[in-house]
Amino acid sequence: MAWAAAVTAQFSWVVVGGAGVVLLVLLWFWVRAVHYRLSRHEFEVLVGGFVIRRVYLRDIDGVYVGSRFPAEFWPNLNFLKGGRLTIRKKRGLLRHMTVTPSDPEQLRKNLFYALGWKP
């Protein structure tokens, strides 16, 4: 019966490793599916075309290039490039929301224009 314990111990490492690989694959698809949309009244985070997070423009207090901590973090494929944009909300438990657009400065300008502020 000692061989059964050895086989079970080795099999547990396979299960843990397989679960880690599955988790990494799911994380990769999540990051690929995240997109951002700025409309007339809100800024939205979409995952696979569905709105997951919505911030109304009237609730935005500030827009900054860079990241803040603690914050909601919504990465996409541009996460590795390092361009981050932080939106400060007027209310809520986490008042900062960090996104990773392809051009954070351009999105900041677009948000300023949508909010009626001077960039």
For the chain, the structural domain boundaries read: 2-115
**According to the model, what pLDDT value does residue 1 have?**
55
Question: Per residue in 30-45, pLDDT tens?
Answer: 778 899 999 999 999 9
Interatomic CA distance for residues 116 and 72, integer angstroms? 24
Q: How far is CA 97 from CA 50, 55, 115, in A?
A: 18, 9, 17
| Between 108 and 8, the higher pLDDT residue | 108
Domain 2-115 coded CATH 2.30.29.30:
yes
**100 SS3 class:** coil
Interatomic CA distance for residues 91 and 21, integer angstroms? 38
What does pLDDT average to over the chain?
A: 87
Interatomic CA distance for residues 92 and 74, integer angstroms? 17
